[in-house]
Structure 1
Amino acid sequence: MTARKPLDVPALAAAYTAGASIRALARRHGVSPVVIHRRLRGARVQMRPVGGPPGGKTPPKVRQDIADGYAAGTPMADLVARYRLSDQTIREIAAAAGVPLRLPGARKRLDRAAIVSLDGQGWPADAIAVMVGGSVHQVRKILREFFDRQPAAG
């Protein structure tokens, strides 16, 4: 059986409370993270939740932009594409900011006639999406459905 490595537990607790991770403390002291965790728990140090804040290392400004966009009704597909995060992470960031969550899969009704009309005027799909409050994907899908159903001219 190996002897316990002497560690300054009050110094560990102070470093952990100041924000140091268990892994960083373990590397610094040449022990496993389990040893650090057990010593901190033994000293009754309040442990942080596993996983960190929603969005991980996403900067606070970006988290706020995500929450604002979600609250404004920006389609989830657009938020996922813009910030390259999962839909679950987007929802967690919005919830952490106090934004009421929308039902997953709840879609806004888009004015199909307006989309087809704007397309006929020569507007590109991304501009139409902005004008009708939908995503580019939704606009393209509506246009594809509309034109696929039309009889071929001839």
Structure 2
Amino acid sequence: MQWQPNMVIADFSGFSSILHNVQQLSAIYSACGKSTRLLVMQSGDHPQIEEYCQKQGTQEIFSKSLPLHDVNSLIEKTLNSRPPFRYRQQHTASLLTLREERVLKLWTEAASNEMIAKVMGISPKTVYTYKRNIRMKLGADNRFSLFLAHPLEVA
């Protein structure tokens, strides 16, 4: 299974001075395909880039100077604008070893590293390593993002 993000936030302003042809941005649109949501946030005014993005199906281009609360709302709206990916959470879980799945289960139950270590008969440092591996395999940028509400969750 090829990894594909659920959403890409792009600012093409930085490319405006080095673009030989605006068509160079097509690789980003191709990589997003039909499943990945693309949120374009620009810093500055770039009519040629904006026109190209709109031709590619970008509904709106937003300013990067939006207040953080508005950016959060925009991200939520964008994530919910398309149906979730076809694959289910069990496919993601299959990326984990049985021991990693057990650590993740205990972790989601709010067990401390020390408690997880005691239950599994391993050291707290090994628990830390398992957690790091879980985050890497699941594509979590930080330890909190695994527990945030996410449209891919299966009820």
Larger relative strand fraction: 2
* TM-score, normalised via structure 1 length: 0.29
Larger relative helix fraction: 1
Give 1 or 2 for the bigger CA radius of gyration: 1
